[in-house]
Structure 1
Amino acid sequence: MNSVARMSARRAPSPEDRGKTAERTRERILDAAVAEFGAKGYAGARTAGIAARAGVNQQLISYYFGGKQGLLTELCRRRQQAESSMVPPDASFEESVAAYLDAILDHPDWARLVVWQALGDRPFADAEEDERFAEARRSTTAKALEGIRHRQRDGEVTGEIDPAFALLVAYAVVLSPITMPQFVQDIFGEDPLAPSVRRRLHEQLVKLLGTAEG
């Protein structure tokens, strides 16, 4: 074997290295898709824009995910996994509010994607797949509502407020820097994603829904 051949052999990546490279590429594409979907919604997003954000060839999106629809499906699956472990089972109400605020405001593109979908921008081609994700959302909401009722029974959340309304208020406040950034900016006079705004939302939401005993 001549020196050029030996050098080529040494440089050839191992299957493990190729696998790691492919996984990094997949993650870059997914990160770019979150940003693109968050900014433009599913309908407005283009695979060319996602590829440009990720710095990859557009064809790799089809290769790894089958296209824009496959990206959305994978992102929804990941979000459901993240939601299932967002709050520790033994977290207090105050800790739970902080965890939700961190999850939303640390990842605003993910939150924007959720908002787009809540407005109906989730055009799954497969009706069964759409219903599966919708059922998972309903299950998550039902668990959150039962969590509020449980905290009311334990004296952590005021029993003077209907639990469904309390949950709605919590969702509205936590998402407000994403859904109403201009209003939050005008009200607090600060960047909606600033740490100081997060602290104020956390403090006031706990005061509004919590109890002195909790």
Structure 2
Amino acid sequence: MEPKTPTRRSPEAGERVRDAERTKQKLLDAALTEFSAKGYSGARVGEIAARAGVNKQLISYYFGGKEGLYRAMHRESLETEYENANADVPPDELLRWYLHNSLSDPRFVRLALWQALSGETPDDETQADVDIEQERMKRRQERGEIAADVDTAALQLALMGMTFAPTAFSHTARRLFGVDIDDPEFEHRYFSTLKRILGALAEGAEHPQKGNTLP
């Protein structure tokens, strides 16, 4: 008697949804790797699909093509940022999160540098997104965590620069600190100084000193 061939069960609707979400997440992660390494123009959908281990036609199916995938990847990173940078997070903890995130996964910094240098990538960050970030910064200022005379727009840009600097200048950072930027010692030492800078700004709101206000 011949053995019975196992009957293949069609996946249920919930399983199909989970499989689709897993596939999309694989593509988004692979896209971040490819775009951060080669920029928007240099990235190839075939390479992204190969990294994700899926058929490249799924990029068109789920995202409508290369640009749609790039926008979805960028929007996901913005949403993650908003979740971790809400107005209730103190400035030093906010800075800690940005720094740790950029050191543990330099792809985000490299992607931002590609965007800035090439000027040709689709940009999903809107004025409304920037306004939300500024509103949160101003709420911290109202609580006295940031000096009242500090320009919050300049501060936000400066904080971005300070967290991006180790990845952008990793060789210089290595020479200065004697360890690579992915070494916990580097993060500890670097963040300690950044925290002192923020602390000085907060103290300025509580203990203003003559001559410290910029013209």
Q: What is the TM-score when the length of structure 1 is the normalising length? A: 0.79
Which residue is 1:197 aligned to?
186
| C-alpha distance 150-175 of structure 1, shift in aligned 2 (>3 A) | farther
Letter in 2 for 1:191: D
Contact residue 144 and residue 167 of structure 1 kept, 8 A = no
Which residue is 1:91 aligned to?
89
Alignment of 1:43-192 (within 5 A): 43-124=41-122, 130=123, 133-143=125-135, 145-147=137-139, 149-150=141-142, 154=144, 156-157=145-146, 162-192=151-181
| C-alpha distance 144-91 of structure 1, shift in aligned 2 (>3 A) | closer
| Matches of 1:57 and 1:66, distance apart in 2 | 14
Contact residue 86 and residue 136 of structure 2 kept, 8 A = no
Contact residue 49 and residue 55 of structure 2 kept, 8 A = yes
Secondary structure of the equivalent of 1:208?
helix
The two structures, once aligned, show a CA RMSD in angstroms of: 2.7
Secondary structure of the equivalent of 2:126?
helix
| Matches of 2:173 and 2:139, distance apart in 1 | 28
| Matches of 2:25 and 2:183, distance apart in 1 | 27
Contact residue 91 and residue 198 of structure 2 kept, 8 A = no
Contact residue 184 and residue 192 of structure 1 kept, 8 A = yes
Worse-matched range after superposition: 22-31 or 137-146: 137-146
Contact residue 51 and residue 61 of structure 1 kept, 8 A = yes
**Shift in Å at residue 34 of structure 1?**
0.6
| C-alpha distance 78-143 of structure 1, shift in aligned 2 (>3 A) | same
Aligned residues: 201
Q: Identity percentage over the alignment?
A: 36
| Matches of 2:116 and 2:142, distance apart in 1 | 26
**Shift in Å at residue 68 of structure 1?**
0.9
Which residue is 1:35 aligned to?
33
| Matches of 1:150 and 1:120, distance apart in 2 | 37
